[in-house]
Amino acid sequence: MPPEHEALLILTREHFPALQDAPCEVEPILKGGSDRHFYRLNWENNAHAPMILMVYTMARRDNPKFVPATRRLAKLGVHVPGIHAFDEQRLCVWLDDLGRVDLHSFREQPWEVRAPLYEATLREVARIHAVTTASLSPADLDELEPEFDEALYEWEQNYFLDHFVRGFLGREFLDKSYEAAHETLRRLRRELARLPRCLVHRDFQSQNVLIRGQDAWFVDYQGLRPGLAEYDLASLLYDPYVSLGRTERNHLLRYYAEHRGLELGALRETFYLCAAQRLMQALGAYANLSRNMGKPHFEQHIPAAVANLTEVCAEGMGIDNLRVLFEGPRE
C-alpha cells in the first residue's frame, strides 16, 4: 500500500476507533477537474459500509463550503451523502459511499431508460430551486458562495474569452470585428442579473448525479449559491459529456415546468440565455484545464460544447452574433 494511503488509514482509524484492526482497501477515485482527492475505503469482512474520504485544499474558496452545503441540502430533504466525520484542521471529510453509477453512465442507453432518471434528477433539483433568495438570511448568504450577479456573469464570459477564444483558438477578440458580440455579452449578463434568484447547484452535470435504484443523488455542490434555476437546467440538458436531442430536451424542459408549475415559454427563453452563458464558461474551463492544468483529456469535450453553443445561439433570442467569437469573423 502506498505510504499516502497508509497515512490516510491511520487518520481514518483515529476518527473510527472501532475500525482500528479492520483491514481496508484504499481505492483512489480518479475523475473530474477538481483539485480535491477522493478515496473509496472498502472495509474487509463487512467491518463497516464503504466510505468516501474527500481530502481538499484551500486553493479554491468553495472547497471548505462542501460540508455546510451538505448540511443545508440535507435539511431541505435533498439526496446528498451523509457525513460520518469531518476533520476541519486536516481538511478531510468521510462520507457515505453513494456507489459508482452516475447519470453519465447511462448515456448510451435508450431514451425510455434514461428519461425516468432525468425526471428523477429534475424532481430532486427542484427541491433546491424552491429556496428563493428572499427566504435566505444574511447569515445564510454568508455561508454560501457569492451569488450570480452581473460581475460573476462577466467573470465567466472573460474566462471564456481569455482561455478559449484567445488561448485555444488564437483569436484576438478585442478586434473591431467582435464589437457586436461584446455588446451582446453585455446585454446577456445584464438580462440574467436582473432576474429573481433561487438556490442553484452551480455544476449540475451528469457526472455529479449519482443513481441509486431510480433515485438521483447529488455531489459536487460546494458551489451552492443564489442564481437562476435555468442555469442548472442548461448545465444538465446541454451537458457536453452527454448527447441529448432536441426532442429529449424539450420533453425535460416541459416536465420541469409542469413539476414546478412554471410557464414553459418564459422558462425556455431564459433557459437558452443561461445555456449560452454556461457553455461559454464550460469552454473556458476545458481550454484552461487542458492547456494550463495538465489535464489534456478535457480537450475532447470541446467539439460537443461548441456544437451545443452553436445550437443555443440559433435558438436563443438576440444571441446569434456570439457565434463570431468561436467561428471567427465572416468574410
Give the single-character DSSP code of 146.
P
Could you read off the pLDDT of 21-61 as tens digits, one per residue?
899 999 999 876 678 999 999 999 888 889 999 999 999 89
Confidence at residue 329, expressed as pLDDT on a 0 to 100 scale:
79
Has residue 6 got a pLDDT over 60?
yes
Chain segment 102-115, per-residue pLDDT in tens: 999 999 999 999 99
Nine cell digits for residue 123: 424532481
**pLDDT tens-digit profile of 265-301?**
999 999 999 999 999 999 999 999 999 999 999 999 9
Is pLDDT larger for residue 46 or for residue 14? 14
For residue 331, pLDDT over 70 is answered with no
Q: Is the pLDDT of residue 89 over 90?
A: yes
Check: CB of residue 101 under 8 Å from CB of residue 147. no
Helices (H), the chain: 3-15, 66-75, 111-129, 138-143, 150-160, 179-193, 229-237, 246-260, 264-292, 302-315, 324-327
- Domains of the chain (ranges; CATH) run 3-96 (3.30.200.20), 103-327 (3.90.1200.10)
Separation CA 148–CA 140 (nearest Å)? 15
Strand, coil or helix: 96: strand
- Segment 302-317 mean pLDDT: 96
Residue 70 above 90 pLDDT? Answer: yes
pLDDT at 182 over 90: yes
Q: Residue 44: count other Cβ atoms within 10 Å of its Cβ.
A: 10
Q: What is the pTM of this model?
A: 0.94
- Specify the pLDDT at position 32: 64
Helix axes 229-237, 246-260, angle to 10 degrees: 150
User: What pLDDT score was predicted for residue 126?
Assistant: 98
